[in-house]
Chains A and B, each alone.
Chain A
């Protein structure tokens, strides 16, 4: 014969434990869902790291919940068994039924946890794959964008370089031209100065030399001939305007 209040209390406790366990599972799933949504909105590769961390945390939480549930369940079973053991007036058959029920409950709980872990892994895997696809697409887009941007920048750089090179060439050419003109002018000036010096020396030297030579070589007759020739030449070319 069953002791109704005790049995009722025991089953109530078990239900509460089970309800708590289910509630924690729902919370974990909500957490994972929110985490997934949040993670899916991230575009960078850091998302994987964050997701991995979230996944690890979720697994940890799940593992903790599982352990705690099992612990609670174990404790509850023990307590239930103790209660059942302490109840003398529960017959053996009833006890066996209760044990069986408890065992089933425990097995169902384990199975639920395993399914839950498997679902979680699948969800995470799918999420990762989705994220991977999105990432790849984004990377492709990014790659194209970067490629285009790089192309544009290279084109701009090329144009800029060409422009700057042309400007530099022009500047160099102008500088060289200016330097060349300057150098040419200096050379010309130097040349003129040197010629002037040489001419000056020639002017100084030639009359002296000529005088020395003529003074030694010209006779009176030569002098007279020179004078008459010079006069006749002047008369002939009309350079002498008397």
Chain B
């Protein structure tokens, strides 16, 4: 049984933005799973809210946003262990199967800029994807990325080469 439709999947990936965030989410979900089922019966929690509380996850946290706003789980209702397990697996597959855009920047981007980057690529790419951002401090500026095996160089070095070539030809 699938808990997520296409819209929900896009929302989750749009929330995650990067593969790194996806991996962190999966790690959180696995922790939740342990807290909900636990190795011993004592550790079992009845509701999703109590589980999030025990993990110090509050409103505004991506996990909170995932369950409350995207998936639409009732936080105060008893959580079926199988449901949570299935959801964790499905999100894991979603992150794993999403197309990956490997990006190189000359600086470390903040969340707001990463979100802007994601939105820009979202306007160009129609399939589910996540970003994989690498920082190269030697890079002068601009951006380089690889999508579906194709390298796109929009770095300042490349732009500078073009300008110099034009100067040379003139």
A→B interface (CB under 8 Å): 195, 199, 202-203, 206-207, 210-211, 214-215, 218, 220, 223-224, 226-228, 230-232, 234-235, 240, 242
Instruction: Verify if B39 is at the interface (C-beta below 8 Å from A).
Output: no
Interface contact A227-B125, CB-CB below 8 Å: no
Total cross-chain contacts (CB, 8 A): 61
Interface contact A240-B154, CB-CB below 8 Å: yes
Interface of A is mostly: helix
Binary per-residue interface labels of chain B (97-116) against chain A in the complex, 1 for a CB within 8 Å, 0 otherwise: 00000000111011001001
Q: Report the bound CA distance from A139 to B156 in whole Å.
A: 101
Which of B120, B141, B164 is the one whose CB lies under 8 Å from A223? B141
B→A interface (CB under 8 Å): 105-107, 109-110, 113, 116-117, 120, 124-125, 140-143, 147, 150, 152, 154, 156-157, 159-161, 164, 168
Chain A residue nearest to B161 (CB atoms) is A203
Known: A207-B160, A224-B113, A226-B156. A242 touches B142 (CB 8 A): no
Interface contact B160-A242, CB-CB below 8 Å: no
Interface contact B116-A223, CB-CB below 8 Å: no
Interface contact A227-B168, CB-CB below 8 Å: no
* Minimum C-beta distance from B103 to chain A (A): 9
Interface contact A223-B124, CB-CB below 8 Å: no
Residues of B within 8 A of A206 (CB): 160, 164
Q: Report the bound CA distance from A235 to B105 in whole Å.
A: 18
Which of A211, A226, A227, A230 has its CB near the most chain B CB atoms (within 10 A)? A227
Residues of A within 8 A of B117 (CB): 227-228
Residues of A within 8 A of B154 (CB): 227, 230-231, 234, 240
Q: Report the bound CA distance from A235 to B125 in whole Å.
A: 12
